[in-house]
Structure 1
Amino acid sequence: MKKKEEKSEEGIVRFLDAATVSGVYSVKTGYAVLIQQLPAQTADPFWKTLWSLPLQPKWKLFLWKLLHNGLAIKSELHRQGVPIQDVSCDLCGAQTEDFNHLFRECRIARAAWRGGCLNIHSQLHGYHSISDWIQYYIRLLISQDGISSSNISTFVGTLWALWLFRNNRVFNPDTPVIQPVGLYIFSILQTHIVFMDTDTTTTISPSSTIQEGLPPPGFHVAHLGISRTGTLFVQLQIDGAWYKDTRHAGIGWCVDNANPLDDRIIGGSNFGLCTSALHSEALAFLYALQWASDCHIHSARLFSDSYNLVTLLRGDGRGDIGILWLVQQIQCLGSTFQHCEIYKADRNRVHRAHQIAGEAAVLFIRFNSTML
């Protein structure tokens, strides 16, 4: 038996030596010969596409684990023999936590997909596995907008946000959930933009330009409320962002934080198509005032970097009939407040609202957080 093994090993060595150009065996040449003997396998092109997506590395790794059922989902841990007493979903408590439920069928997941800019009905194509469902949408988004589409970032970012949202509930069960999932997704996508170093300010047309002879910031004001006197105001910064080539627009508004270390966003954003930067700015005012009214705010001080819009709200100047109609709507809504002051400010004063509007225009983000 031993002689047969020795002869077999000698035969393999002679075969490997003969297969090399020099006739001298090495580990490298042996590996190359053995690889040639393996049957040809066709690699799935999707994996090559996955690693080439313009996403954060941790997002790619997360997506790869998700597509291979490699996340620590309760049902998967239970299947592998990990003793888990309760396998129900921590977000809704209604069903078993498996991959399809957590990322598609849970009411939190459904609200996240329907409320986002992609407007995905996650319960459609229910017969697909979570892997097939994700691959279908990524291929679809690539076919529509290319591999650099911001919609792909929004899609994968929503999956990542749902996973983090779930983990926060699992590992911090006593912490009250203050931030809604839509705002949570917005924060995740905002962080992704910073990480990928996407500079939206170079492509989005500003809502106003600096002109000579204008009054300094804070001295150009429109009074729309019932009374012009008051001391306690909720201060809002408002801005609109507009792409001239595509006419895509984003609007954003937020309450000034008294604490500079408080990074919560109390306000909202929306997106759509506009005819001009002034148009997007006017829509931002209309949405912001409606939001303030819904939050039962009676005295508001609003800041904008658009001189032209403040001028129109004062009743001065001329504009397009569509803009004038919006101005009338803003004036009508502002007249329902006890105090409503709108100030022309510089860009730094509305920096946060400018960021929200820019990201809404780029990523098609819509969210609304109410006053506590």
Structure 2
Amino acid sequence: MVADLIDDSRNWKASKVWQVFPPDKAKIILALHIPQCDTADTIEWSHTKSGKFSVKSGYWFLKASGENPNPTNPFWRMLWKSNIFPKWKHFLWKIMVNVLPTADNLLKRNIQIPSSNCKLCKDRQEGTAHILRDCQISQRIWSAIMGISTGNSQHIPIQDWIKNFLNFFRKKKEDGEEIALKFISTMWSIWLHRNEIIFNNIHTSPGRIIELQRICYDRAMKSAQRSKEDQISEICNTEDMERKEENSWELGARSTYRVQILVVDGAWKKKHKSGQWQAAVAWKNISHSHGEEFASRVFASTPLQTEAYAVLQAIKDMEWKCSDISIKTDNQEVIRALHQQKKADKSISSIISEIKQRARSFQYFSCQKVKREDVSLAHNLARKARLGTYLS
């Protein structure tokens, strides 16, 4: 009965919820979405994708951290309160605690990789300081965009180097915020192009980094000049434009690089005798030569909520891997909610908020309504996951 809903290998905390609360209350609690956008404060562990603390993630955090990110520290207060994309805050946090998934950090965790050389220069081992500052390609980028010479900075830890610059920019009265955004967007663009080289199999292009920086900086400047509510409204186009495109929702402009196309679906079934339900989500990358896919059980209270979780899961899994993405779903209501969030069902409202927020981190993002048979690959994976027969 209740045990059917719990995958003991992954949901130890969920089992505790079932022990404390009645079944009807427990499943509602477990299906609640914890948003990662600007809503009421909640407590979560940001070092895991799920937001749930684990002993393993806590161990690696403490082992890898060169500094404790104490919220009372002036730098951390400045970072958390800064008006930049939440994804950039997470990116800076990973740099500061030395957990950015560079080659040297992956090797420390015994993760096998094809090569530990820098993906930009192909010359030296890839580390956080090297890829973001000391690589000959990165040095040229810093000089071209910011006029910063990094050749004599190799003796300075990358964390101190970043903090010194951001603290300096913060003290400038007139254009400090703009320069800080330019600085962060430069680092982000170097890292984004590094990921393009790995996952899109393209060649190093300093010009591409400069192009990414310009796009990211322009978007960050627009975002910093208006309220959070206005950000989503303007980035997602006007409601009039959305009504004309009820079968799709798009952000940004498609680049010349390959768009990753994912089909997503959710599987939800209510057990009428017991009143319980089971749900699972899945996605399949139909543009990837290796056939990337994911499927897993989730807690969801309705079929609609399951479909929304499927879209969100696909975005979360791909946001570090590509800059252009197109998601295909057979659920019209999810598309409608993206266009008119205020009218969305309350069970998916916070999920839609997070989908929109995460979508802004891509150069191009689209979510399209397609026929049911077009998402059959994802549907089959979700169904297997719901039944417990999916093998990852």
* TM-score range normalised by the length of the shorter chain: 0.3 to 0.5
Larger Rg: 1
TM-score by length of 2: 0.38
State TM-score, norm by structure 1. 0.40
